[in-house]
Amino acid sequence: MVLPAFVFLPLYMYPYNSTSWSTLTTSIVANPDLKFHVVVAPNLAFTDPDVNYVAGLTNLSSYTNVLTLGYVYTSYGDRDVLEIEAEIDKYVGWNSPNELPIGGIFFDESPSNNSTFSYMSNLTTYAKASLGAGKDYISLNPGVAVDASFYTLADSINVFEESYANFNVTALTSLDNTLLAKSTYAIHDFTGSTTEQTALVSQLASANLAGMFITTQPGYTEWSSLWSSFCSEVNTLNLGNGTGGGGGGGGGGNGGHGGGSGGGGGGNNGGHGGGGGGVNNGGHGGHGGGGNNGGHGGGGGYGDDDDEECDDDDDDEDDDDDDDEDEDENDEY
């Protein structure tokens, strides 16, 4: 069965004001049938969100097609379990007094070695029990393919995090279809045109991935120049290949999914077009500012896996506010 793909978005940009996340909310409103899984707060470990973050998250919670996930890193299994659990507890606290929209946990830099299965099992079990039903979505980001057993721990797993230059169709199609339906791809440094991005999205969708992200940027601290087109492309494929069909020729694929006007989807498994990508294994974005080579650096990472510093220099996060006051706030973030 073809599943509608969601947009997987590491939102490692601080909300200085009501317009800081407007690029995102504009796409959310423009594509009401498209689900957005948004990873938030890579810098707020062991702290409470300030007034700006409360306002930003409260606004996101007003949209029914948004799922927010709290960022937690595991250092590929090297981070202390009690420290991670304390960070999860902080997100649980967000959900209670402030009623902020944390719908689950995103475990960045999650290990892929089978010997770490118990480690991740303990963490995901703790997170689900602590967050409670309806707020216990679990997403893992090893950035590489993992053993099928890890899929019993999570709702989705990001199995490809590399640059567009490293995207490999063979690697994508080599995964089991059942696992692909719970997998996501994230691609950075996309250098193609809008038309080429459409083809890439179609390629990923035809593989029946659960979700995807493509950006022209080297990290997650700035918006892709093709962001709005990307969202529209995913949404169009979802609508053209959803169950229930529309105009003539809709069917195609499994059980006549496809739908849409004249000819519908018509691709693999119910008319999904193709598309897709991945992102660098190195650094995996991260929980700080960072920039392009900073390991954990606020999504900008993709540096060495061993980087442990949580840099707080996110000066390039937002073009909306360039004054000194905002830069001071950013240093604190």
Range of the domain at 308: 6-332
Give pTM, 2 decimals: 0.74
Angle (CA) 325-38-277 rounded to 5° is 115
In a domain, 274, yes or no: yes
The mean pLDDT value of the chain amounts to 79
Mean pLDDT, to the nearest integer, of 52-67?
93
Mean pLDDT, to the nearest integer, of 294-311?
38
Per-residue pLDDT at 95? 82
Say how far apart CA 326 and CA 12 lie, in whole Å: 16
Q: What is the pLDDT of residues 193-221, one digit of tens each?
A: 999 999 999 999 999 999 999 999 999 99
Q: In this predicted model, which residue has the larger pLDDT, 281 or 235?
A: 235
Both structure tokens of 101: 């929209």
Q: In this predicted model, which residue has the larger pLDDT, 120 or 255?
A: 120
Cβ atoms of residues 283 and 304 within 8 Å: yes
- Looking up tokens 């703790």 gives 126
In a domain, 1, yes or no: no
Say how far apart CA 79 and CA 113 lie, in whole Å: 15
Question: What stretch of H or E contains 331?
Answer: helix 324-332
In a domain, 263, yes or no: yes
Is the pLDDT at 39 greater than 60? The verdict is yes
Say how far apart CA 150 and CA 311 lie, in whole Å: 30
In a domain, 82, yes or no: yes
In a domain, 116, yes or no: yes
Instruction: Indicate the DSSP class of residue 234.
Output: H
Cβ atoms of residues 222 and 10 within 8 Å: no
Percent of the chain's residues with pLDDT above 70 = 70
Mean pLDDT, to the nearest integer, of 248-252?
40
Per-residue pLDDT at 48? 80
Is the pLDDT at 281 greater than 60? The verdict is no
Q: In this predicted model, which residue has the larger pLDDT, 83 or 284?
A: 83
| Overall number of domains in the chain | 1
Residue 327's domain is classified under what CATH number? 3.20.20.80
β-strands 156-163, 137-141 pairing: parallel
Confidence of residue 28 (pLDDT cuts 50, 70, 90): very high
Q: What is the pLDDT of residues 256-278, one digit of tens each?
A: 333 333 333 333 333 333 344 44
Say how far apart CA 95 and CA 135 lie, in whole Å: 9
In a domain, 104, yes or no: yes
In a domain, 75, yes or no: yes
